[in-house]
Amino acid sequence: MSATSTTQSRKKITANLKATTATGETFTAPDYTIRDIINCIPKDCFQRSLLKSLSYVARDIAFMILFGYIAQTYIPTIPSKTLRFFAWSAYTILESFPMVGLWILAHECGHQAFSEYPYINDFVGWVLHSYCGNPYFSWKFSHKKHHQHTGHIDKDMVFVPKRGEEWKKQRGIMKFSELAADSPLSALSTLLIQQVVGFQTYLLIDATGQPHPELGNKWYSPFIASHFNPNAPIFDKGDGKFIILSDLGIGIVGYVVYQWIQHFGWFNCMVHWIVPYLLVNHWIVFLTFLQHTDITLPHYEENEWTFARGAASTIDREFGFVGQFFFHDIIETHVCHHYVSRIPFYNARKATKAIKEFVGDNYAYSDENMFVTLWKALRWCEFVEGDNGVLMYRNNNGFGLPPKDD
């Protein structure tokens, strides 16, 4: 737990603070502190085993090799071109699952949940994230700030919703009543952009992050905030050399991919790495968006935000066997992960059980099909509003409670 979170958890906040969700239900903000949460978790949940963590790395790599071997051996023998197309398509999806697993294990490294050895964590994380096309240290630093300020409307780093007035200004309208309900086609186009190139644009221009008005409005301004720029405002002083190391990792992988294409051809690289890489990005955006976006989840203004309240503004969901086995429970135990990110994933279910018993109604959970939830979230969660420091989702599509019409 950071010094920031310790300080924030002690500041004076409004007790028994309430708000109304988009469905008209009453939401009560947590009053407990992060120290209370830590004390309720069994101590053995904090134990990190390098050997156990490495075994999961080996397992994910083994599955990638196994799936690749089966695909390369048997799919080319299928006589029908149509059937081969569908077989290769199914394979790329299957291959993306253990690749996401490696991405998540690198994410564990960034939180120092992989082992007790920081240098080993960073080396393993750098290798795994680089292979997955993700700049390790850049992501580690910005992601740390996301954890430090989760749910803070002005300081969170990812999937930051717009306030009602900002949303109206962007749409160029004066009153909500003057705008017809957004069409499903608009939501569909947003969905496609988010899931196909959402993660790349976040890394490249800090899309969905905090605005950077100090950079001005020049066309290249968004690129200054890039995760690949050592001097980007999303990083702290002294981070630059690590950002360069992240870029080096991406450069090495890029060169390997180039050699791969030269020796084995475009198609081989496409089905074994490029398409799985794109699907990994899809899955990461998919699960991250739904871990932080739901009609029941609040965002807070500075005066009512604490670390514990921010961590509680996340939600656990269910993604079946894939989520538990390949995605290492990152979907099913994300609330625990935000309370105490150094708990390794293989101890997170036990910790989640203790947290759930302690926080009661402040534990957010849904077992709704996540693809259904994704569509609903895009339609229901367009912006946030509130006048007491708690901001809840509203929309202009006619779902749930109407927004303020000022």
Q: Tell me the three state secondary structure of residue 22.
A: coil
One-letter amino acid for residue 107 of the chain: H
pLDDT of residue 222: 72
- Taking the C-alpha atoms of residue 120 and residue 396, their distance in angstroms, rounded to an integer, is 49
Task: Report the candidate in 138, 92, 116 with the shortest Cα–Cα distance to residue 283.
Answer: 92
**This prediction's pTM:** 0.92
pLDDT of residue 198: 83
Determine phi and psi for 314, rounding to 5 degrees: -120, 170
pLDDT of residue 168: 79
pLDDT of residue 190: 79
pLDDT of residue 199: 87
Query: Structurally, how many domains does the chain consist of?
Result: 1
Helices of type H across 78-228: 81-110, 118-131, 136-148, 164-171, 184-205, 221-224
Which residues lie closer than 8 Å to 83 by C-beta, 6 or more apart?
none
Q: How many CB atoms lie within 10 A of CB 350?
A: 16
Tens-digit pLDDT profile for residues 63-108: 999 999 999 999 999 999 999 999 999 999 999 999 999 999 999 9
**From the centroid of its chain, how far is CA 108?**
13
pLDDT of residue 333: 98
Place of tokens 């968006």: 289
Give exposure, 8-33, as e/b (b: 16+ Cβ within 10 Å). Answer: bbeeebeeebebebbeeeebebbebb
| Inter-CA distances, 133 with 1, 11, 45, 208, Å | 29, 40, 31, 19
Paired with 300 in beta bridges are 152, 390
Determine phi and psi for 211, rounding to 5 degrees: -70, 155
One-letter amino acid for residue 103 of the chain: W
Give exposure, 387-405, as e/b (b: 16+ Cβ within 10 Å). Answer: eebbbbbbbbbebbbebee
Paired with 28 in beta bridges are 18
Residue 204 lies in a domain: yes
pLDDT of residue 406: 54
Residue 273 exposed, middle or buried by CB count within 10 Å (0-12, 13-18, 19+): buried
- Name residues of the chain where pLDDT drops below 50: 1-9, 174, 177-181
Residue 11 lies in a domain: no
pLDDT of residue 209: 81
DSSP string spanning 25-49? Answer: -EEE-----HHHHHHHS-GGGG---
Helices 118-131 and 50-74 pack at an angle, to 10 degrees, of 20
Residue 225 lies in a domain: yes
Cβ(366)–Cβ(372) under 8 Å?
no
Residue 6 lies in a domain: no
| Residue numbers of the domain that contains 52 | 19-394
Q: What are the counts of helices (DSSP H) followed by strands (DSSP E) for the chain?
A: 17, 7
pLDDT of residue 172: 64
| Inter-CA distances, 147 with 27, 62, 95, 192, 373, Å | 22, 31, 29, 27, 23
Residue 252 lies in a domain: yes
pLDDT of residue 79: 95
Residue 9 lies in a domain: no
Show the CA angle centred on residue 109, arms to residues 103 and 112, nearest 5°.
150
